[in-house]
Amino acid sequence: MVKVCVSCGHEFEAERSDKMCCSRSCYRKHTYEKANPVFPVPCKGCGKTFIPDSHHMVFCGDECRKTFFNVKSKDDERFGGNRKKALIRDGHACTVCKSTHHIAVHHIDESGNSENVNNDLDNLITLCNSCHTKLHNPHRNRIHAITTTKCQACGIEFQITTDRLLDGRGKYCSKECKHASMSQPKTSFTANCLVCGKEFWTTAYKRSIGRGKYCSPECSQKAQTGTHKPKPITKQVIAQCKYCGKGFPTTQARIDDGRGRYCSRQCLNNDFKNMPSMKQKERKSLVNVNCQVCGKEFDAVISNVERGRAKYCSRSCYYKSRNKI
C-alpha cells in the first residue's frame, strides 16, 4: 500500500493502513508538532507574518535577520538615527576608561529594551563592553573602591572595599572581634575559669544547667581527670601488720581508705589462706537429710529443704527416681 507521509510529504510503502509516517524521525516530528502547535507570528525584521519552524524563530529569513542586525538597522530602529552622532560626539572612545575597542552605545536611563525608548542624543553615551556590562550588572561587576570604617567591637578604624559594605559585611576589623561580638548576647557575663583562672564569657542558661565553668575543652578535661589538682601529701605513720604483727611505714590516707593492713603481699596471701572458706561458713546452715532413693544421709542447706528440694544425695539417685516414674 502506497501512502503519503504527513510529516515530510514523501510517498512510502506501508504494511498497515493506520501508518501515517515514513520513518521514526518523521513520526517524532509529527507527534511533537501535534502536541506543540506553531501559530503564525510577525517577522521582527520586515513585519510580515510567517509560520516558524520552531518557537525560537523571530525572522522569516536570513535577509531579514542580516538587515535587522546591521548598522543601518541599529541607527533607524534601536537608536532613532542618533547612534552615529553619539559615536562621533564621544570620539569613538569609551567615556569611562577611554578605550577604543568593542564600542557600544548605552541609554543612560536604561530604556533601550523598554517600549518607550528615549533615543535623544543627550540620553546616549558611548561605552566599551566591559564598562557597559558593569553598568547593567552592578552587583556582579562592581568597581572595588577602598574606604575607611570603624570596627563595631573595638572601634578601631580599618580599610575595606565598598562592595563589602554594600553587601552588609565589613563590620569588624578581625575574626577575634567578630567572635567576641557574637559571643556577647544580652544574657552573657564574664566569669573566671575554675582550672586556670582565665576570664571568659558565659551565659546564665549554661550556668543553670551546670555548664559554663571552664574556658576551654582542655580545662574541662583536666577538671574531669583531676590532673589540675596536686596530689595530697600526707605524713607517713607506723602501722602494725594484721598477720605477723610487724610494724611497717604507711600513710594515713591508705589507712583511712581501708588499706595499709599488711606489710607485704606474702602476709596478705597467708592471711587469706587461713580465712574460713564459704563452705565452712555455710556449715552452720546445713542439716542432715536422708536420700529418698538409697536412704543415705547427706548434708543439705536448710533453705533448699524448706522449698521442697534436696531429696537426693547424688545425680544417679535423681535419674533412678525419674526412671521409676
Q: Is residue 292 part of a domain?
A: yes
Tens digit of pLDDT for each residue in 47-95?
Answer: 888 877 776 788 888 888 777 766 455 555 677 778 888 888 988 898 8
Distances from the Cα of 137 to the Cαs of 103, 106, 134, 144, 224, in angstroms?
A: 18, 14, 5, 14, 58
**124 part of a folded domain:** yes
* Residue 64 placed within a domain: no
CB neighbourhood size of 241 (10 A): 17
- 110 located within any domain: yes
Per-residue pLDDT, 141: 46
What is the spatial distance between Cα 166 and Cα 44, in angstroms, rounded to a whole number?
Answer: 41
pLDDT of residue 143: 47
pLDDT value of position 283: 46
* Shared-domain flag, residues 91 and 121: yes
Q: What is the pTM of this model?
A: 0.27
Instruction: Give the pLDDT mean for 176-199.
Output: 77
Instruction: Identify which has the larger pLDDT, 308 or 36.
Output: 308
Query: Measured between alpha carbons, how far is 77 from 79 in angstroms, rounded to an integer?
Result: 6
* Residue 42 pLDDT greater than 80, yes or no: yes
Give the pLDDT confidence of 228-266 residue by residue, as tens digits. 665 555 678 889 998 898 999 888 878 887 788 889 888
Does some domain include residue 127?
yes
Residues 97 and 127 in one domain: yes
CA distance 235 to 240: 16
Please indicate, yes or no, whether residues 92 and 110 belong to a single structural domain of this protein: yes
When divided into structural domains, the chain yields a total of 6
- Asked, for residue 17, whether it belongs to a domain, the answer is yes
Range 274-303 average pLDDT? 75
| Domain hosting residue 162, numbered range | 146-182
Please tell me the distance from the alpha carbon of residue 121 to that of residue 107, in angstroms, as a whole number: 9
CA distance 55 to 35: 13
Residue 167 lies in a domain: yes
93 lies in the same domain as 131: yes
Please check whether residue 87 lies inside any domain of the structure: yes
